[in-house]
Amino acid sequence: MKNMTLTNIARACNGRLLYPAENSRKETEHAEAVGVVIDSRKAGENFIFVATKGERVDGHRFIPDVFAKGALGVVCEKEPESLPGPCIVVEDSFEALKQIGEFYRQQLPVKVVGITGSVGKTSTKEFVAAVLAMKYKVHKTLGNYNNEVGVPLTVLSMPEDTEVAVLEMGINHFGEMHNLSRIARPDICIMTNIGQCHLEFLGSREGILKAKSEMFDFMKEDGSVCINGDDDMLASIKEVKGKKPVTFGLSEQCRVYATDIKGKGLFGSEAVIHGNGESFAVQIPLPGEHMVYNALAAAAAGQLLGLTPEEIRDGIAAVESVSGRSHIVKLPDKVLIDDCYNANPVSMEAAIDLLLQADGRRVAVMGDMFELGEQEKEMHARVGKYAADKGVECIICAGKLARYIYEGAREAAGERKDGPAAEIFYFEDRESLLEGINQILKPGDTILIKASHGMGFEKVVEQLS
């Protein structure tokens, strides 16, 4: 890792560098780390281990273990009683991790594309990374590494020859995006939408926009902003650092837009993308209208970074779904839509719209949505009403808050005059759902599985698979 010596790392995080002996200083003074981790199991020869205190485990316990495996040094909050190797003592290991990530980011001449929004961050990240990989060596966020721990770890895992980094950036409090922007120093900022999530902490959609706009705080002076021009809140952004945002969407008023959209059910869609004076047809392999928006965001980023229409087209066609996010699982007698990674009212309704594209009986398995604030009951009820009004044939709800999805669906189903009412079921929790769901499902069903991550609905996917 370029310039990642113990001295430089200590300076970056304002730490106190301690050596067990003078000869160890001479041996390691100019050595560069090969990686930085907070999981001692991932530490190896010449790694830096950042010892953090978690809810269950204190990483300081494993300092001797990582040195036994050949670690170059350790960042820790307290000096070990017997110093087993070079240690950098800091006040706060998590804060040090962010500072070290910020330092390493600035050592590499890499372009950074930062992605945020209420819905669709991960899918958009996959589209952008797939498109840019047609021209550049790309490093992207893995898994759910999108917060104040995940972003610096993603940056610190970036190979020196990376040309473009695509970083997903997620928050739920004011000030967090400011910190993430300081680490990422984005050249391009992409904002997918402003929905109703994290309202418990951010208060309103206006608050969400304000918090996510902190992304611009450390954007490069010559950087660019790409926003969903069809989103009413994002459309209010007229200028960032003296430049107009690049808008994408379905409206022809956007700089990058799509026409001739033809759905292919659960197997994606095709469209014509227009922008930068050019038009080209694309095959979008993932289902749902929201995936068209993700493809448009990738096309906008691709054009900003000099890709040809052919490279953008090929990159969009190469995108693969991510487990837990509109991932289609074909079983011998059923089809699952695994969208269980997270949920809010906007993404719930988008997932229901996707389910409606399926043939046969459609089943929606829905759980609690967290961090919605004072109106959480009404928002859950709205989702249930939406599913019943749209004609989902079977609605299965599980969780304390999901009771309001159940009640909203029951009320709407009772009011329907244009067709048979849905079958609607309620379970108190995930465990009772797992016990009872197989008695409800039928061969040929297409089953949507969606809830906030804390509900652990991946267990439902595992059982049905």
The tens digit of pLDDT for each residue in 372-395 reads 888 899 999 999 999 999 999 999
Shared domain for 130 and 270, answered yes or no, is yes
Shared domain for 351 and 387, answered yes or no, is yes
What beta strand segments (E) does 341-409 contain?
Answer: 362-367, 394-398
Q: Which residues of 321-349 are buried (b: 16+ CB within 10 A; e: fewer)?
A: bbebbbbbbeeeebbbbbbbbbbbbbbbb
Quick one: pLDDT at residue 417? 57
457: left (phi over 0), alpha (psi -120 to 50) or beta: alpha
> Do the Cβ atoms of 145 and 219 come closer than 8 Å?
no
122 is in an annotated binding site: yes
- 253 lies in some domain: yes
Shared domain for 265 and 370, answered yes or no, is no
Residue-number span of the structural domain to which 336 is assigned: 327-464
Residue 30 pLDDT exceeds 80: yes
Token pair in block for residue 312: 């953008």
Considering 92, 121, 155, which residue would you say is the last residue of a domain?
Answer: 92
Quick one: pLDDT at residue 321? 72
Considering 317, 349, 378, which residue would you say is the last residue of a domain?
Answer: 317
446 is in an annotated binding site: no
> Do the Cβ atoms of 112 and 218 come closer than 8 Å?
no
| Rounded Cα gap, residues 120 and 296, in angstroms | 12
324 is in an annotated binding site: no
For residue 135, the domain's CATH number is 3.40.1190.10
Shared domain for 210 and 233, answered yes or no, is yes
Residue 140 contacts by C-beta under 8 Å, 6 or more apart in sequence?
A: 125, 126, 129, 154, 165, 166, 167, 168
Per-residue pLDDT of 208-233, as tens digits, reads 889 899 999 999 999 999 999 999 99
- 116 lies in some domain: yes
- 458 lies in some domain: yes
For residue 36, the domain's CATH number is 3.40.1390.10
Lowest mean pLDDT among 37-41, 285-289, 413-417: 413-417
- 322 lies in some domain: no
> Do the Cβ atoms of 434 and 459 come closer than 8 Å?
yes
Name residue 27's amino acid.
E
Per-residue pLDDT of 403-422, as tens digits, reads 999 999 999 887 765 655 67
CA distance to 25, 149, 217, 247, 276, per residue, from 238 (Å): 54, 32, 16, 10, 19
- 397 lies in some domain: yes
Shared domain for 333 and 309, answered yes or no, is no
Shared domain for 117 and 195, answered yes or no, is yes
- 205 lies in some domain: yes
Residue 356: is it exposed, middle or buried by C-beta count within 10 angstroms (0-12/13-18/19+)?
Answer: middle
Shared domain for 291 and 341, answered yes or no, is no
Shared domain for 115 and 24, answered yes or no, is no
Shared domain for 406 and 346, answered yes or no, is yes
Shared domain for 138 and 210, answered yes or no, is yes
Residue 406: is it exposed, middle or buried by C-beta count within 10 angstroms (0-12/13-18/19+)?
Answer: buried
| Neighbour count for residue 293 (Cβ, 10 Å) | 25
Quick one: pLDDT at residue 172? 77
Name residue 83's amino acid.
L
Total of domains in the chain: 3
Token pair in block for residue 429: 């929790």
Residue 455 pLDDT exceeds 60: yes
Per-residue pLDDT of 87-130, as tens digits, reads 999 999 999 999 999 999 999 999 999 999 887 888 899 999 99
Quick one: pLDDT at residue 204? 81
Reported confidence tier of residue 199, pLDDT bands at 50, 70, 90: low
> Could you tell me which of 170, 190, 326 has the C-alpha nearest to residue 256?
190
Residue 68 contacts by C-beta under 8 Å, 6 or more apart in sequence?
A: none
For residue 429, the domain's CATH number is 3.90.190.20
- Give the SS3 label for residue 112: strand
117 is in an annotated binding site: yes
| Rounded Cα gap, residues 369 and 361, in angstroms | 25
- 153 lies in some domain: yes
Quick one: pLDDT at residue 104? 96
Considering 317, 347, 374, which residue would you say is the last residue of a domain?
Answer: 317
59 is in an annotated binding site: no
- 168 lies in some domain: yes
Shared domain for 245 and 310, answered yes or no, is yes
| Angle value at C-alpha 289, between 251 and 168, nearest 5 degrees | 95
Shared domain for 44 and 140, answered yes or no, is no
Reported confidence tier of residue 196, pLDDT bands at 50, 70, 90: low
